[in-house]
């Protein structure tokens, strides 16, 4: 693999990670499902199994949340020395979850890393394996009442596919 091919492959793999997160945060099951090969494996600690089954598990779990936002940090990608169609990665994440804890809006924040094996089949890169390592987590009472006061005119994101980021007609005419 030459330098240009590596650069193009890295861009495709980074885009894969972004699509995974968008699918998760917007509850876009089809988008998230398309990031895993059908025979992929996962190990998240709380779930171990194939990629497609993880997507069903995660989508069902996150539907109960009031909001989610995953922020991706540095992304190290290393290519297999003997197989140009295989790469390994470590992706840092910071995950915000608005949940109800005993009926009270609560923020659960989890930070860690994904450890991945990517495979290219044909021209497409997807996850062949994904593990999630948690480095730290905490909960605290929700404290964003300012959104109903000083910032009440803000455009608010949605926790599903009704989010304005999916509305191309609105964005085209903005």
pLDDT of residue 22: 97
Q: Phi, psi (5° rounding) for residue 57?
A: -60, -50
pLDDT score at 82: 95
- CATH, residue 155: 3.10.450.50
Question: Percentage of the chain with pLDDT > 90?
Answer: 81
Share of the chain above pLDDT 70, in %: 100
70-128 pLDDT tens trace = 999 999 999 999 999 999 999 999 999 999 999 999 999 999 999 999 999 999 999 99
Average pLDDT, the chain: 94
Residue 150 is predicted with a pLDDT of 76
Average pLDDT, integer, range 51-66? 96
Q: Is the dihedral of CA 73, 147, 161, 43 positive or negative?
A: positive
- Total number of domains constituting the chain: 1
pLDDT at 157 over 90: no
Q: Residue 116's closest CA among 107, 104, 128?
A: 128
Work out the average pLDDT over 150-159. Answer: 79
pLDDT on residue 13: 98
Boundaries of domain holding 103? 3-172
Q: What is the pLDDT of residue 41?
A: 98
Give residues with Cβ within 8 angstroms of 38, minimum separation 6.
50, 51, 52
């Amino acid at each position: 693999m030459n330098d240009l091919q590596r650069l193009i492959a890295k861009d495709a793999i980074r885009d894969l990670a972004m699509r995974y997160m968008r699918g998760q945060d917007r509850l876009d099951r089809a988008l998230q499902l398309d990031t895993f090969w059908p025979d992929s494996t996962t190990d998240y600690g709380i779930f171990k199994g194939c990629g497609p089954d993880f997507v069903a598990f995660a989508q069902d779990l996150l539907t109960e949340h009031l909001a989610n936002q995953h922020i991706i940090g540095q992304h190290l990608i290393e290519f297999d020395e003997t197989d140009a169609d295989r790469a390994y990665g470590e992706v840092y994440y910071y995950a915000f979850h608005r949940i109800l804890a005993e009926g009270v809006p609560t923020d659960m924040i989890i930070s860690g890393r994904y450890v991945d094996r990517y495979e290219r089949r044909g021209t497409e890169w997807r996850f062949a394996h994904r593990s999630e390592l948690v480095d730290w987590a905490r909960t605290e009472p929700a404290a964003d009442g300012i959104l109903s006061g000083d910032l009440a005119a803000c455009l608010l994101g949605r926790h599903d596919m009704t989010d304005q980021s999916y509305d191309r007609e609105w964005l085209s005419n903005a």
